[in-house]
Amino acid sequence: MQSQLSRRSLLKLTGLAGLGAAAAGCSSGPPDGTATWSMWSSSPAERKVWDAFGAYVERELGVRSAAMLTPSGGYPTKLDLQLVSGTAGLVTAINGTLIPTYAARGAHQPLDDLIAADPDFDLTDFYQPIRKISSFNGKTYAIGFDVAPTVLYYNKTLLAKQGIPEPSPTEPMPWATFRELAKELTRPPDQYGFTCAPAIDDLVSWIYCAGGNVMNDDATRSILAEPEALEAVQFVVDLFVKDKVTPPIANLVTENSLANFLEGNVAFMQNGPWQVVNVRKAKFDWDVVPFPAGAVGSTPRVSGSGFAIPSGVRGKDLELAWKLLKTLTSTGALDIYAKAGRNNPARLSAGSAFKPPPDNLGIVQQILAGKLAGGHPFDVTSNWNQVKQLLGQDLPRTFLGQVPVRDAIDGLTPRLDVLMQQHQDNVRQATARKG
Amino acid sequence: MAVETLTAPPATGRSASAHGSRKPRSREALTAWLFILPSLIGFLVFTAGPVLAAGVISLLDWNLFSPPTWAGLRNFARLGPDPTFWSALGNTAYFTFLSVPLTLLVSLVLALLLNQGLRRVAVFRSLLLLPYATITVAVAFVWIWLYIPHDGLVNAVLGLIGIDGPAWLISDFWAMPALIAMSVWKSFGFGMVVFLAGLQAIPQQLYEAARVDGSSAWQRFRNVTLPMLSPAMFFVVVTSIIGSFQVFDQALIMTNGGPGSRTTTLVMYIYRTGFENYDQGYAAAQSLVLFGFIVVITAAQFLLQRRLVHYDN
Look at residue A227 and tell me if it is in a domain.
yes
Q: Are residues B106 and B254 in the same domain?
A: yes
Q: Are residues B191 and B48 in the same domain?
A: no
**Chain A residue closest to B274 (CA)?**
A77
Q: Are residues A322 and A408 in the same domain?
A: no
- A94, A385, A389, A425: best mutation site toward chain B, by most B Cβ within 10 Å? A389
Q: Are residues B41 and B143 in the same domain?
A: no
B194 vs A150: CA distance, rounded Å: 56
DSSP for A201-253 reads HHHHHHHHHTT--SB-TTSSSB-TTSHHHHHHHHHHHHHHHTS--SPPP--SS
Q: Are residues B45 and B113 in the same domain?
A: no
Contact call for B150 and A249, based on CB within 8 A:
no
Q: Which of B73, B91, B107 is the last residue of a domain?
A: B73
Residue A8's pLDDT band, with cuts at 50, 70 and 90, is low
Look at residue B131 and tell me if it is in a domain.
yes
Task: Let me know if A435 is exposed, middle or buried by CB neighbors in 10 A (0-12, 13-18, 19+).
Answer: exposed
Q: Are residues A361 and A251 in the same domain?
A: no
Look at residue A175 and tell me if it is in a domain.
yes
**Chain A residue closest to B82 (CA)?**
A415
Look at residue A428 and tell me if it is in a domain.
no
Q: Does A84 touch chain B (CB under 8 A)?
A: yes
Q: Are residues A115 and A240 in the same domain?
A: no
Measured between its terminal Cα atoms, the distance across chain B in Å is 23
Instruction: Confirm if A142 and A308 have CB atoms less than 8 A apart.
Output: yes
Look at residue B130 and tell me if it is in a domain.
yes
Q: Which of A346, A369, A392 is the last residue of a domain?
A: A369
Phi/psi of residue B222, nearest 5 degrees: -75, -40
* Number of domains into which chain B is organized: 2
Instruction: Confirm if A415 and A387 have CB atoms less than 8 A apart.
Output: no
Q: Which of B19, B46, B73 is the last residue of a domain?
A: B73
Q: What percent of chain A has pLDDT over 90?
A: 86
Q: Are residues A280 and A403 in the same domain?
A: yes
A70 vs A39: CA distance, rounded Å: 6
Dihedral Cα A246, A247, A250, A252, nearest 10 deg: -40
Question: Residue A225 contacts by C-beta under 8 Å, 6 or more apart in sequence?
Answer: A409, A410, A413
Q: How much is the pTM?
A: 0.87
Dihedral Cα A155, A158, A163, A166, nearest 10 deg: 0
* Number of domains into which chain A is organized: 2
B282 vs B245: CA distance, rounded Å: 19
The least confident of A109-113, A379-383, B50-54, B256-260 is B256-260
Q: Are residues B96 and B80 in the same domain?
A: yes
Contact call for B148 and A80, based on CB within 8 A:
no
**Chain B residue closest to A249 (CA)?**
B170
Q: Which of B56, B73, B90 is the last residue of a domain?
A: B73
Nearest CA-CA partner of B104 in B178, B10, B198: B198
Q: Are residues B124 and B253 in the same domain?
A: yes
Look at residue A17 and tell me if it is in a domain.
no
Q: Does B257 touch chain A (CB under 8 A)?
A: yes
Alpha-carbon gap: A97 to the closest alpha carbon of chain B (Å): 13
Q: Are residues A398 and A410 in the same domain?
A: yes
DSSP β-bridge partners for residue B253: none
Q: Are residues A287 and A325 in the same domain?
A: no
Nearest CA-CA partner of B258 in B86, B91, B79: B91
Among B253, B254, B278, select the one facing A105 at the smallest CB separation: B278
A320 vs A62: CA distance, rounded Å: 11
> Tell me, what CATH number does B242's domain have?
1.10.3720.10
Average pLDDT over residues A266-275: 96
Alpha-carbon gap: B301 to the closest alpha carbon of chain A (Å): 35
Question: Which range marks the domain in which residue A105 is found?
Answer: 35-148+303-369
Q: Are residues A313 and A290 in the same domain?
A: no
Q: Does B119 touch chain A (CB under 8 A)?
A: no
A222 vs A216: CA distance, rounded Å: 6
Q: Does A418 touch chain B (CB under 8 A)?
A: no
Look at residue A432 and tell me if it is in a domain.
no
Look at residue B252 and tell me if it is in a domain.
yes
Q: Are residues B41 and B147 in the same domain?
A: no
Q: Are residues B190 and B259 in the same domain?
A: yes
**pLDDT per position in chain B (313 positions), as tens?**
333 334 444 444 444 444 545 567 889 999 999 999 999 999 999 999 999 999 999 999 999 888 899 999 999 999 999 999 999 999 999 999 999 999 999 999 999 999 987 778 788 888 999 999 999 999 999 999 999 987 899 999 999 999 999 999 999 999 999 999 999 999 999 999 999 999 999 999 999 999 999 999 999 999 999 999 999 999 999 999 999 999 999 999 999 998 989 999 999 999 999 999 999 999 999 999 999 999 999 999 999 988 888 886 5
Nearest CA-CA partner of B245 in B47, B92, B98: B92
Question: Residue B99 contacts by C-beta under 8 Å, 6 or more apart in sequence?
Answer: B180, B183, B184, B187, B240, B244, B247
The conformation of residue B255, written as its DSSP 8-state character, comes to T
Measured between its terminal Cα atoms, the distance across chain A in Å is 74
Q: Are residues A343 and A224 in the same domain?
A: no
Q: Does B259 touch chain A (CB under 8 A)?
A: yes
> Tell me, what CATH number does A64's domain have?
3.40.190.10
Residue A251's pLDDT band, with cuts at 50, 70 and 90, is confident
**Chain A residue closest to B147 (CA)?**
A250
Instruction: Confirm if A274 and A343 have CB atoms less than 8 A apart.
Output: yes
Alpha-carbon gap: A334 to the closest alpha carbon of chain B (Å): 30
Alpha-carbon gap: A177 to the closest alpha carbon of chain B (Å): 30
Has residue A216 got a pLDDT over 80? Answer: yes
Among A76, A389, A396, select the one facing B259 at the smallest CB separation: A396
Look at residue B126 and tell me if it is in a domain.
yes
- The pLDDT of residue A349 is 94
Look at residue B313 and tell me if it is in a domain.
no
Alpha-carbon gap: A392 to the closest alpha carbon of chain B (Å): 8
Chain A residues with CB under 8 Å of B261 CB are: 393
Look at residue A397 and tell me if it is in a domain.
yes
Question: Residue B91 contacts by C-beta under 8 Å, 6 or more apart in sequence?
Answer: B176, B261, B262, B263, B264, B265, B266
- The pLDDT of residue B308 is 83
Task: Let me know if A289 is exposed, middle or buried by CB neighbors in 10 A (0-12, 13-18, 19+).
Answer: buried
- A105, A241, A251: best mutation site toward chain B, by most B Cβ within 10 Å? A251
Look at residue A9 and tell me if it is in a domain.
no
Among B65, B170, B278, select the one facing A249 at the smallest CB separation: B170
Q: Does a cis peptide bond (omega within 30 degrees of 0) precede residue A358?
A: yes
Look at residue B220 and tell me if it is in a domain.
yes
Look at residue B21 and tell me if it is in a domain.
no
Look at residue B246 and tell me if it is in a domain.
yes
Question: Which range marks the domain in which residue B295 is found?
Answer: 75-306
**Largest distance between two CA atoms of chain B:** 86
A318 vs A418: CA distance, rounded Å: 37
